[in-house]
């Protein structure tokens, strides 16, 4: 008989979701195993145990290793960074042909109102390496703010501010230009707390009007149009993985 595997590993290996996404769904109580709420340490066997997400069966097939595929998407605003939404709102997979999106899941987060570079993959190892804090991969953003933050606010943002009782890591924050509508900044982060830029901007009194992610690690969005995507090639993966925390 096939040996049971941890749910997180099984779901990732089948290309259903990343291990981190599985962890989050387990914590939220959205995954069930054989009709019972699944727990982080639970194990299952393909073809024997029944797994459901929000009451819908999760089809693992043979859970065989799939060819590793990763794409870069220019996510438009108003689209959810998830594979499915119980409320029927548009998700990033709706922007892809069904055959292309099969087995892919987003790497990290980009909130609904934000736009720009987003990776989707079926490669759990790649997703973990790009999102785990110990690797410190950077993400570059262009951010339009209401008002005109002063030098003291920019300096505080660069050195780190307290969110949820913990100080943020130092960031690169540069003023690109000002206009009658407000200020435009370029920000480089090496961490990814939930809605981090928006929360800091609000804390400083200059709410975000628009937020666009320009690059993930060394991979830039470039001229990719909003709503468009492309498969990554070997040199793209090198750009992603050759930038480690110093």
Residue listed under structure tokens 């290996």: 13
Is 111 labeled as catalytic in the residue annotation? Answer: yes
Radius of gyration of the chain (CA): 19
Closest CA to 116 of 209, 223, 218: 223
d(CA 219, CA 234): 12
Contact call for residues 27 and 42 (beta carbons, < 8 A): no
Contact call for residues 75 and 94 (beta carbons, < 8 A): no
Q: Strand, helix or coil at 14? A: coil
The end-to-end CA distance of the chain, in Å, is 46
Q: What is the DSSP string of 83-124?
A: S--TT---BGGGGS-HHHHTT-EESS---TT-EEEEEEES-H
d(CA 140, CA 172): 9
Residue 166's alpha-carbon distances to 48, 162, 163, 169, in angstroms, are 44, 5, 5, 9
**Active site residue: 23, 49, 111, 236, which one?**
111
Other CB atoms within 10 Å distance of the CB of residue 121: 21
The beta strands (E) that lie in 164-207 are given as: 166-167, 172-179, 182-189
| Residues known to be catalytic | 111
């Amino acid at each position: 008989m096939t040996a049971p595997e941890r749910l997180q590993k099984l779901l990732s290996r089948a290309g259903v979701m990343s291990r981190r996404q599985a962890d989050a769904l387990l914590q939220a109580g959205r995954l069930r195993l054989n009709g019972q709420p699944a727990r982080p340490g639970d194990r299952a066997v393909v073809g024997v145990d029944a797994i459901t997400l929000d009451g819908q069966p999760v089809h693992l097939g043979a859970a065989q290793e799939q060819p590793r595929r990763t794409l870069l998407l220019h996510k438009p605003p108003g689209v959810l960074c998830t594979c499915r939404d119980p409320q029927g709102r548009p998700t990033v997979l709706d922007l892809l042909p069904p055959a292309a999106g099969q087995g892919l899941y987003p790497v990290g987060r980009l909130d609904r109102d934000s736009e720009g570079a987003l990776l989707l993959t079926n490669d759990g190892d790649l997703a973990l390496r790009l999102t785990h804090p110990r690797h410190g991969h950077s993400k570059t953003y262009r951010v339009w703010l209401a008002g005109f933050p002063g030098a003291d606010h920019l300096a505080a943002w660069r050195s780190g501010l307290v969110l949820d009782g913990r100080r943020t890591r130092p960031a690169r924050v540069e003023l690109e230009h000002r206009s009658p509508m407000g200020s435009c900044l370029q920000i480089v982060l090496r961490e990814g707390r939930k809605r981090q830029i928006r929360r800091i901007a609000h804390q400083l009194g200059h709410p975000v009007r628009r937020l666009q992610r320009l690059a993930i690690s060394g991979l830039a969005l470039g001229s990719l149009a909003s709503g468009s995507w492309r498969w990554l090639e070997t040199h793209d993966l090198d750009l992603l993985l050759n930038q480690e925390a110093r």
